[in-house]
Structure 1
């Protein structure tokens, strides 16, 4: 096994890590979406009201966030899982054969890594900013009954009885962790792919130089032969 190929071994390890991190994106995102009865809490807005009977404040959601934002998070998690699994299998074969991908394969890997890195970064921003906005609605709105978002499980919600808010903050925290750690890992893989392309280009430049030098020497030898 090509253990000596540190760069290839590092890529395999990173893809395995990405496969595991994808569960931190898909599972909590799906649970939160299911608990909110298909509604997306990202960038949701609401107001606090006072129950005239019990005199206890309750939070009412006025507008839910665009569901496509929550769905996109699940889709990007699935994409990261599938792509990382494919690369784990593919690069493990190269590692076992003590071989490596061609220049074209390394270039395609660079393109795929760049694409997913950009998608993940945009999703990280959407989830982080969207959840922070929702937390601000819970904490900073007039009449708020909580001082921090972690207390959201303890408040009364005037929402559909099918909606379950228990564990909301924990699940969003897991999603953010999975997204940002995945983005950092994809960014590292992007750097590794760039280094591999650079090594290939340097190697090919060296080969072209050797070819030109060989042709020059053979040409000089041929000229001497003709003179003799």
Structure 2
């Protein structure tokens, strides 16, 4: 198996994993957005209050409930969703191209390989930024929910505890942690994608440099007859007829 075919197979595998990982980012974030009625939980601020609110439970007595002062910026959730959607679309398109190249036994041009490297590096930085944003935003929301770890439950346990908000909080931790882990996996895949793209660029450049005329020039240096279809270089021509 030649080197370019091995690289194409590795690229096909990376693209397939990108599609799966991207879906594991988009779907949980979409479910969380639907449960939170379009609000973003990332970087939300609030506090716990204890008061007698019989309308919350239907029974008299003191009730501790979470008060959200300000929901997080929608761009924090949209950024991660955008990276996930782009990853799915790009992985599907490039995966199809890799299969086409494997079947046709050819590869990208030198310019196309160079553009692929640039695009992979750009999306790698975007994916890394989205991963940090999602991780920091989830940590901020968990700090609000647990009241700075002052509550007798963890952030994971809080999704099974009534927070008395006007949104569904029964699965927020599961959705956001799954999206967080998947997004970091997407970032790792984009790093692998960048390395593979660079290797394919290097391989294409090597093939471009070592064109079909180099073996014939070696024959000329050995005083053999040049093959047809490849012009004799001026410096070699003068050497032969001296």
> Do both proteins adopt the same fold according to a TM-score greater than 0.5, normalized to the shorter chain?
yes
Q: Which runs of 5+ in 2 are unaligned?
A: 53-59, 221-232
Aligned length: 220
Structure 1 match to 2:126: 119
Indicate the structure with greater helix content. Answer: 1
Segments of structure 1 that go 5 or more residues without pairing to the other structure are none
1:112-191 mapped onto 2 (5 Å cutoff)? 112-141=119-148, 144-160=150-166, 163-191=167-195
- Structure 1 CA distance, aligned partners of 2:140 and 2:205? 46
62-71 vs 205-214, which deviates more?
A: 205-214
**Corresponding position of 1:38:** 38
- Post-superposition offset of 1:170: 0.4
Q: Which residue of 1 aligns with 2:102?
A: 95
* Superposed displacement of residue 192, structure 1: 0.7
Do the aligned partners of residues 92 and 3 (structure 1) sit closer, same or farther apart at CA in structure 2, a change above 3 Å counting? Answer: farther
| Residue 73 of structure 2 corresponds to residue 66 of structure 1 | yes
Distance in structure 1 (CA, Å) of the matches to 2:3 and 2:100: 12
Structure showing greater Rg: 2
Range with bigger deviation, 168-177 or 107-116 = 107-116
Contact 2:47 2:147 in 1 (8 A): no
Indicate the residue corresponding to 1:49 in structure 2. Answer: 49
Give the whole-Å Cα distance in 2 for the aligned partners of 1:205 and 1:2: 18
Aligned to 1:197: 201
What TM-score results when the alignment is normalised by the length of structure 1?
0.87
- Residues 59 and 156, structure 1, Cα contact 8 Å, conserved in 2: no
Q: Secondary structure at the match of 2:67?
A: strand
The 3 A distance-change label for structure 1 pair 169 and 179 is same
Structure 1: distance between partners of 2:238 and 2:11:
44
What is the CA-CA distance between 1:174 and the residue it aligns to?
Answer: 1.0
Cα pair 1:139 1:148 within 8 Å, conserved: yes
Residues of 2 paired with 1:34 and 1:203: CA distance?
51
Helix, strand or coil for the counterpart of 2:146? helix
**TM-score between the two structures when normalised by the length of structure 2:** 0.83
Aligned pair 1:110/2:117, yes or no?
yes
